[in-house]
Structure 1
Amino acid sequence: MFKDFIAWLDSYISREEPSAVLKAMVGLMAFAGLLGTLFGNQAIRAGAFVTVIVFAALVMLLLLADRRSLSKAHEMHRTLLARYCDFVIDHNSEPLVSFESWGQKVYVHRNGDVREVLTLRAVALRTRVYFIRLKAGSRWDQPERYRRDVRVIARSLTINGATGPRWNVTSSWVSTQKMNSILHLHHSIKRGEEIFFEVIRIWPAKCLPLVKGEAEEFSFCTTRLLEIQHVDYSVVLPEGLDATYELIGAAEPDVQLSADTGCDHEGRRVFTWRADKVPTLTTVGIRLELK
Structure 2
Amino acid sequence: MRPSGFFEWLHEYVLARGIGGIVETVLALLAFGGTLSVLFGSSTIKAAAVVAAIIGILGLLITSTYGRAELRAENALLSELLRRNCEVAFRHMDNSLRINKIHAVNLVKDNGDGHSTITVVATALTDQINVFKIGSGSGWHQPESARRKVKIQVSSIDIDGIGGVRHTCTKHWRPDGKLEILTHLDRPMVPGSTISIVVQLFWPGKNTPLIKKRLPDTFSMKLQVPVEHLICEVILPPGFDAFYEPRVPSRRDFRYSHVRQARDTGHIAFRVDAWEVEPDQRVGILLDLKEPRSSASQVAPPPSVSSP
Tell me the TM-score normalized by structure 2.
0.81
Give the SS at the match of 2:134: strand
Contact kept? 2:233, 2:271, Cα under 8 Å:
yes
Q: Deviations over 1:158-179 (max 9, x none)?
A: 4337553432222112224322
Provide runs of 4+ in structure 1 moved above 6 Å. Answer: none
- Equivalent residue letter for 1:285: G
Contact 1:29 1:49 in 2 (8 A): no
Aligned-residue offset at 1:51: 0.9
Aligned mates of 2:277, 2:230 — CA distance in 1: 9
Q: Which piece of structure 1 moves more, 160-169 or 187-196? A: 160-169
| SS class of match (1:94) | coil
Aligned-residue offset at 1:86: 0.8
Partner of residue 173, structure 1: 173
Indicate yes or no: 2:105 matched with 1:84. Answer: no
What's the CA shift for 1:24? Answer: 6.3
**Higher Rg:** 2
The residue correspondences of 1:90-101 to structure 2 (distance < 5 A) are 90-95=91-96, 97-101=97-101
Structure 1, 75-84 or 135-144: larger mean CA deviation: 135-144
Superposed CA deviations along residues 134-186 of structure 1, whole A, max 9, x for unmatched, are 12222333333322322221112243375534322221122243221111112
**Could you tell me how far apart the structure 2 residues matched to 1:11 and 1:260 are?**
61
Q: 2:142: which partner in 1?
A: 142
CA distance 1:202–1:246, change in 2 (3 Å): same
Check the 8 A contact 2:10/2:63 in 1, yes or no.
no
Deviation of 1:100 (Å):
1.1
CA distance in structure 2 between the aligned counterparts of 1:150 and 1:129, rounded to whole angstroms: 27
User: What residue is the counterpart of 1:247 in the other structure?
Assistant: 246
Deviations 1:187-206 (A, max 9, x none): 22212111111101122322
CA deviations on 1:200-232 (whole Å, 9 max, x unpaired) are 112232222222222222222344xx2211122
Q: CA deviation at 1:108?
A: 0.9
Q: Where do 5+ consecutive residues of structure 2 fail to align?
A: 291-308
- Cα distance in 1 for partners of 2:9, 2:190 equals 47
Change in 2 beyond 3 A, CA 1:243/1:229: same
Structure 1 counterpart of 2:113, one-letter code: D
Q: Is the 8 A contact 2:83 2:172 kept in 1?
A: yes
Q: 1:130 to 1:279 in 2, by over 3 A?
A: closer
How much identity, in percent, do the aligned residues show? Answer: 27
Tell me what 1:188 maps to: 188
Q: Residues 223-234 of structure 1 correspond to what in structure 2 (within 5 A)?
A: 223=224, 226-234=225-233
Distance 2:75 2:84 in 1: 14
Q: Output aligned runs, 1:145-160, within 5 Å.
A: 145-160=145-160
Matches of 1:193 and 1:263, distance apart in 2: 38
Judging by fraction of residues, say which structure has more strand: 1
Report the TM-score, using the length of structure 1 for normalisation: 0.85
Structure-2 change in CA distance of 1:32 and 1:167 (3 Å): same
Shift of 1:66: 2.3
Matched, 1:115 2:115: yes
CA distance in 1, matches of 2:193, 2:13: 46
Amino acid at match of 2:111: N
> For 1:269-280, what aligned pairs fall within 5 Å after superposition?
269-280=268-279
Q: Which digits, 9 at most, give the CA deviation of each residue in 1:42-85, with x for residues without a partner?
A: 22222112111212211321232122112111101101101100
Aligned counterparts of 1:206 and 1:25: Cα–Cα separation in 2: 40
Partner of residue 32 from structure 1, selected from 9, 30, 33 = 30
Return 5+ residue gaps in structure 1 as ranges.
none
Q: 1:133 to 1:250 in 2, by over 3 A?
A: closer
In structure 2, what is the Cα distance between the partners aligned to 1:12 and 1:205? 39
Aligned length: 281
Whether the aligned pair in 2 keeps the contact of 1:115 and 1:203 (CA below 8 Å) is yes
Give 1:273 shift: 1.5
- Distance, in Å, in 1 between the alignment partners of 2:72 and 2:245 is 44
